[in-house]
Structure 1
Amino acid sequence: MKTKSIFVIAAAAMVFSLTSCEENRPEVPDVPETPGTTDTTGVEKPEAGEVSGEVSGVWEAGSVINVTGHIVVPEGKSLTIEEGVTVIFSDAGVGVNHTAIEFSVDGSLYCLGTEEAPVLLTVAEELRTPANTFKGLWGGIVAGAACEEMLIDHTIIEYCGGQVIEGSPAAENGYYTAGDDAYPHITTNNVDGRYVITNSVLRNGWSDAIYMMGGNAIIADNVFSAIGYDGAEAVNVKSGCTVDVARNVMFSANTNGLKLSSSDQSEVRHQAKIQAYNNTIIGSGWRRDGEKGGGIYVEENADAGVFNNLLVNCKFRATTPAYEEEGSEDCYDREHSMIDYNYYASGTVESSIVFSGEYEDDGETLLYSGVKYAYEGYAFEHEWYDTEKVDVHSVMARTKEEAEELDPKFVNYDINVDPAGYTFNDSWDFHLTAGSPALDASKTYTGGDRQPYFGTTGLEVNGKTYTSPAVGNWFGAFGA
């Protein structure tokens, strides 16, 4: 994302409502059938209901909802989406300009899928193709400054990232800039908001998967894949946020798995505070031109604990631009942050995307790194590597021999593949086999000073208290 405008308003008292305009309520099929198909009894199911405008109440289990225009959960109301619901967003957009459809949340949103019957936010089935991976066929969820809480549980969100243009609700509300931005899968804006995103899949999008401009959040046990066409991160955090990011698999983010920044910090937007631990980040940075992408990027006074993460085939290791200007607005909070005790693994297959030679940056002629293998990137003398403070104790493959030695030995994922690939295979298993060097607890960080922000008190959302996962004494999202 390029340009953001931040709006903060006082959180309004939330009033739960299970009513909505009758003309906007969809017809609910008896079982989760695709419109026009036949169930096992041979009875053709009715066409699903169409919705646009204000929505609230309950979308009942197994129903199919066709969204034909922008939808919004009004302030003071809530929308509950039950297990097995499929929400299909029209790729035609809105109006003569075909503005990408936005799912605005000014009230509260609860997506309550299950492992057996997840909620699905998608496009028409015939559009769910590899060719459309980065096409941005609809907008995304925008939780506005009045959104007090949101729960995304066992939910699949895909094919997001439509362009923000004049007439887009996010532009009219000042969250994004028309002509400069594309929609993330999920955006947050309320510094006092409570957000839990767990057990979910965010995939196939033009822009970031999660872009936080405010709020308290637990982001845990998710899978991110094929994120970003020409930039973007799996999780992008700005000022006004306190966030735990744990036990996620982040596969092929265009730029970084984690981008952590306290940009736009002010008296009403506190310093960004993040604990990011036990994540598995694979293949980040290769699809981004230049030398910015790589896996972990921390800047602009962010207070970040980034540890016990497993990075595999990422173009670079953790970068912290302007680290030599400690105390400046561009440098991360070098005094209080800890970006260390991570594990950097590399395959030995050359990337299909390699940038080499000269390039122009703000009128200056620079040289690309020419990195072909992750281990070359880890060993590269990058100007943003804070070698005095960052990854001092991390395990790192810097040569082909070390890459072979430090293979984390996943149960079902061969690291010797093109690191720039973005097609995810659901059969992969990122648990570690017995004897994996990434299970060596003596190399991990277990100090008591780096605990999750919401590990004890938790976050209460929809009447339930959610807590962040405990820190694991292994590298990556899963142990053995």
Structure 2
Amino acid sequence: MFTHNLFYAVGEAGGEAINVKAGCKVDASYNVMYSPNTNAFKLSNTGFGGSRFQAQIKAYNNTIVNSGWRRDPNKPKGGSVWAEEGCLVSICNNLIINSMFAVKAPDFEVAGGAGADLNSVFDYNFYASGTQQSTVAQHIANGTLTAFDGFKPGVTDVIYSAHDVRGGSTGDNDPKFVNFPFTSNPPGSYTFDPTWDFHLQTGSPPATWGVMATTNKSPSPK
């Protein structure tokens, strides 16, 4: 179980806040993950077999901020959550803010593919992008200047679910944290300010939103 932790500036040339493989059963909730190099969660069933059972992960009510921007821009692999290789997951009720991409699950629901288990659930995640832009040349060439560019429809491997909240442009869906520069914190920044407060103000859009806003739970895999 991972709960009520603060992860920040994880990885220099790669790396995730939480990386799960076969043989693990994980419940992750109420964590703040600021500027992991590649993903907040990299979830995989690699290594499955023998005594190593299927990787099973529930990740809910986490706050993911500025994820993915420090990954080598020539080798992008996710930018918030990455699920692959037959892991069984429930990724719900998370705040994904100013991160490079929305939740990604390559080959999910592709017969014979290497995607997450078909019984996995991805839904009720809340996305928001400030207006600030990356100045990295390859990000500009790739068309991923803002987080919103990685949340839009049509992005490769991104999961689009019926109850996700994404907004229509940069600056939409300000989560109204108690203290965080939502529209000015640079995408590639990894310096964590201990005065930041990621609690939600009264009237914050995500405060009364989600699959089970009053029970603080997440749907189980199918």
TM over 0.5: yes
In the superposition, the TM-score normalised over structure 2's length comes to 0.90
* Counterpart code for 2:164: S
Structure 2, unpaired ranges of 5+: none
Equivalent residues in 2 for 1:271-350, closer than 5 Å:
271-288=54-71, 289=73, 290-328=75-113, 330-334=114-118, 336-350=119-133
* Bigger relative contact order, structure 1 or 2 (CA pairs below 8 A, ≥6 apart): 2
Match of 1:45 in 2: none
Selected match of 2:211 from 442, 445, 449: 445
- The DSSP-based 3-state class of the residue aligned with 1:227 is coil
Alpha-carbon spacing, 1:324–1:273, altered in 2? closer, same or farther (3 Å):
closer
Match of 1:379 in 2: 152
Equivalent residues in 2 for 1:412-451, closer than 5 Å:
412-416=179-183, 417-441=185-209, 444-446=210-212
Alpha-carbon spacing, 1:398–1:263, altered in 2? closer, same or farther (3 Å):
farther
Match of 1:409 in 2: 176
Provide, for residues 437-462 of structure 1, a one-character-per-residue CA deviation record: whole Å limited to 9, x for no partner: 01123xx1129xxxxxxxxxxxxxxx
* Counterpart code for 1:381: G
Report runs of 4+ in structure 1 exceeding 4 Å deviation: none
- The DSSP-based 3-state class of the residue aligned with 2:142 is coil
Matched, 1:399 2:184: no
Give the structure with the larger strand fraction: 1
Q: Cα RMSD over matched residues?
A: 1.9
Provide, for residues 237-259 of structure 1, a one-character-per-residue CA deviation record: whole Å limited to 9, x for no partner: 00000010010000000100011
Contact 1:376 1:398 in 2 (8 A): no
2-side partners of 1:280 and 1:226: how far apart?
15
Contact 1:312 1:345 in 2 (8 A): yes
Provide, for residues 179-202 of structure 1, a one-character-per-residue CA deviation record: whole Å limited to 9, x for no partner: xxxxxxxxxxxxxxxxxxxxxxxx
State the 1:292 CA deviation: 1.4
Selected match of 2:53 from 258, 270, 279: 270
Provide, for residues 419-451 of structure 1, a one-character-per-residue CA deviation record: whole Å limited to 9, x for no partner: 21100011110000000001123xx1129xxxx
1-side partners of 2:77 and 2:168: how far apart?
19
Which structure's CA Rg is the greater one? 1
* Counterpart code for 1:430: F
In the superposition, the TM-score normalised over structure 1's length comes to 0.43
Contact 2:102 2:159 in 1 (8 A): no
Structure 1, unpaired ranges of 5+: 1-217, 358-367, 448-469, 474-480
Provide, for residues 450-475 of structure 1, a one-character-per-residue CA deviation record: whole Å limited to 9, x for no partner: xxxxxxxxxxxxxxxxxxxx7259xx
* Counterpart code for 1:292: K
- Among the aligned pairs, what percent are the same residue? 40
State the 1:380 CA deviation: 5.4
State the 1:414 CA deviation: 1.5
2-side partners of 1:386 and 1:221: how far apart?
26
State the 1:356 CA deviation: 4.5
- The DSSP-based 3-state class of the residue aligned with 1:294 is coil
State the 1:322 CA deviation: 1.9
Provide, for residues 99-149 of structure 1, a one-character-per-residue CA deviation record: whole Å limited to 9, x for no partner: xxxxxxxxxxxxxxxxxxxxxxxxxxxxxxxxxxxxxxxxxxxxxxxxxxx
* Counterpart code for 2:167: A
Equivalent residues in 2 for 1:2-401, closer than 5 Å:
218-288=1-71, 289=73, 290-328=75-113, 330-334=114-118, 336-356=119-139, 369-379=142-152, 381-387=154-160, 391-400=161-170
